[in-house]
Amino acid sequence: MSEWLTKTLTLNTGAKIPIVGLGVFTSRDPIEQAKATPWVLTALQAGYRHIDTAWIYGTEKPVGDAIKASGIPREELFITTKLPWNHTKRVQWSIDQSLKNAGLDYFDLYLVHWPHSVAYDENEPRPRNPDGQIKLDETGNFNDTWAEMEKVLASGKVKAIGLSNFSIKTMEELFKTAKVMPAMLQVEMHPYLAQNELLAYCKEKGITVTAYAPTGYAIVRKDPTVGEIATHYGATPTQVILSWHVGRGVVVIPKSADAGRQKENCQILNLSEVDVQIINGLERNQRVCNKPDEFGNVSGWSMERLGWM
């Protein structure tokens, strides 16, 4: 087992989070989502102890089933889930749904998935207006949602609360009313989107950062500079990219449904300072995951409103 699966960072709650975890977003197709159990199980068997899911991924149940099948004691695991944007007006109900889906008594970390609120439709978590844009619910705000998250924390149903897809701009707005400092910010991050200012801001506030889409997909994995460095270490491009994150004190949650790639993704390298600087030089503020649509928006919010400029 890779020693990196047992290395942790300490959250501002005092809890420890394994620095390498497994992402469990798979597809918008419920049939594909339900197939996640066996590959989450192979990851647990390979030594992964940190799993990242979300209500909207439809994989809370497959994750819970894999945990049960693994026989690993609950206290040895770190499980994150996320409040979906269409449940921001029903947070207490939503956490109970997530716990029931996973068959767990608590989550280690509960994130507000997006700063947006989306209209609630029982049958459609991504409802759209006739023009094709996501149907937003503008009757509340993330400050209200965070107050509900604070109640979830107090209930003991989750051990820590945090944010996803927030920016310095939206966090500054949140901090006007927040009583609890978020333990975590999960954002898209990879060598083409290094988010240096955001990372420094979070470090200064004591907020741990998790990189999603941490490998940068094929576009970053196939970068020739990353490839050259990988050859030099006798490693793979993915290992070089994930090692760059870990060296910056960032948690990574690569998703792989393949047992071989799961093992590959937890072999972290000690990159030289020169190589780190070369990778830092690849920064180009390029999103590969949640990109603006034809309206210039990401799920109904402009880049400016998100603070993603």
Residue 258 makes contact with ligand NAP by CB under 6 A: yes
Residue 24 makes contact with ligand NAP by CB under 6 A: yes
Residue 166 makes contact with ligand NAP by CB under 6 A: no
Residue 257 makes contact with ligand NAP by CB under 6 A: yes
Q: Which H or E run includes 142?
A: helix 142-155
Evaluate whether 290 touches 165 at the Cβ level (below 8 Å).
yes
Q: Which of 164, 167, 208, 243 binds ligand NAP (CB under 6 A)?
A: 164
Which amino acid would we find at residue 239? Q
By CB atoms closer than 10 A (0-12, 13-18, 19+), residue 205 is middle
Q: How far is CA 94 from CA 52, 54, 81, in A?
A: 17, 11, 11
Evaluate whether 53 touches 63 at the Cβ level (below 8 Å).
yes
Which range, of 23-31, 102-110, 154-162, 269-277, touches ligand NAP by CB under 6 A? 23-31
Question: Total number of residues binding ligand NAP (CB under 6 A)?
Answer: 25
Residue 208 makes contact with ligand NAP by CB under 6 A: no
Residue that has been written with the tokens 């207490």 in this structure: 92
Q: How far apart are CA 232 and CA 249, in angstroms?
A: 23
Residue 214 makes contact with ligand NAP by CB under 6 A: yes
Out of 48, 57, 192, 212, pick the active-site residue. 57
Q: Which of 103, 83, 258 is nearest to 182 (CA)?
A: 83
Residue 265 makes contact with ligand NAP by CB under 6 A: yes
Q: Please, what is the Cα angle at 126 between 122 and 132, to 5 degrees?
A: 125
50 is in an annotated binding site: no
Residue 161 makes contact with ligand NAP by CB under 6 A: no
Helix, strand, or coil (residue 285):
coil
Compute the least distance from the CB of residue 47 to ligand NAP, in Å.
16
The binding track of 107-146 with respect to ligand NAP, each residue x by CB under 6 A or -, is ------x---------------------------------
Residue 293 makes contact with ligand NAP by CB under 6 A: no
Residue 46 makes contact with ligand NAP by CB under 6 A: no
Comparing CB distances to ligand NAP, the nearer of 14 and 174 is 174
Using only C-alpha atoms, the chain has a radius of gyration, in whole angstroms, of 19
Comparing CB distances to ligand NAP, the nearer of 24 and 154 is 24
Query: Is-catalytic flag, 110?
Result: no
Direct distance between the N- and C-terminal alpha carbons of the chain, in angstroms, rounded to an integer = 41
**Which active-site residues does the annotation give?**
57
Annotated binding site for substrate: 113
